[in-house]
Amino acid sequence: MRQTGSDSIRSGGRYLTVVTITLAAAVMASPRTSCAQSADKRFDVVSVKPNNSGQVWATASPIKERVGRYTARNVTLKNLITWFYDVNESQIIGGPRWLETDRFDIDAVVDGQPTREEVIQMLRALLADRFNLEYHSDTRNISRYRLIAPKKGLKYGEHIMRSDNKDCGAVPTMVNGCRGIVFGPQTLSLEHVGFAEIAQNLAAITGQPVVNETGLAGKYNITLDLDLAHSSNDPSVSIGDAIIIALREQIGLPIEVTKGATRALVIDRAERPTGN
């Protein structure tokens, strides 16, 4: 999912058939790395404060070029690592328990118009400077979802149709029909999205890697009816489960759970921030 402000949501696969693939585990671990090791540029002003509101949702500004400000509210350090390193929660190994329980408000400002790559470098440096975050890269056998092309084709009709909206650009906007992912009370709408974007959004919601192997091109409009009441009443059923079930049943998209060699970030050190 593009970083639009949702925090991590518990994943699960209760209704999915698990297919296990045994892969040769050639694990090559890299040396320990500080987030700031290759980052020369930093924000001019940074504020990191604990958030004890008890709220569930986290919000954060998208990472954009030529924007010298970043704000996040009610975020965990694990949220920040997933966003700044483009990994899912299941790819983060180790670290203290508070990595996913303590919440923070962050404000960071820099003069000028940095590129997106510079902003990412500064955000990683922020984690090193304020959280003393150190990690090393590894390869682990991690569960992941596979989106597969349906043998009989998608179930075009009520829940899915092709989108040829000429008003939509390369990224979601507030234009009706071009908004990307939109949650309703009991629905999920995906406006003018391809299956690569669907995989990206599903990965963010489930916290698991998602591989798009559909081979399906083009853009689509999808509206899913979600059984969120079942998800709320049964702790073993997550919102991610509800979306996966809807994708399978309502548009005919096969989704499997496999295990495969996947990049992981192993946390060597993390400390709660002190002072501003």
> What whole-number distance in Å separates Cα of residue 11 and Cα of residue 5?
18
Pairing of the two strands 160-163 and 219-225: antiparallel
pLDDT of 35 reads 52
pLDDT of 198 reads 94
pLDDT of 155 reads 95
Radius of gyration of the chain (CA): 20
Per-residue DSSP letter, 31 = P
Beta strands in the chain (DSSP E): 33-34, 45-50, 59-60, 69-75, 92-94, 104-109, 134-148, 160-163, 180-183, 187-193, 210-213, 219-225, 255-269
> What whole-number distance in Å separates Cα of residue 117 and Cα of residue 262?
23
Q: Which residues contact 22 (CB under 8 A, 6 or more apart)?
A: none
pLDDT of 22 reads 26
pLDDT of 32 reads 60
Q: Classify residue 132 as left (phi > 0), alpha (psi -120 to 50) or beta.
A: left
Q: With 0-12 CB in 10 A as exposed, 13-18 as middle and 19+ as buried, what is 40? A: exposed
pLDDT of 185 reads 83
pLDDT of 10 reads 34
Scan for tokens 């930093």, then name that residue: 42
The string of pLDDT tens digits covering residues 234-265 is 655 688 899 999 999 999 999 999 998 889 99
Say what the pTM is.
Answer: 0.65
Residue ranges covered by each domain of the chain: 33-139, 141-260
The string of pLDDT tens digits covering residues 152-181 is 999 999 999 999 888 887 767 777 888 888
3-state secondary structure of 183: strand
Regions of the chain where pLDDT drops below 70 = 1-39, 171, 229-237
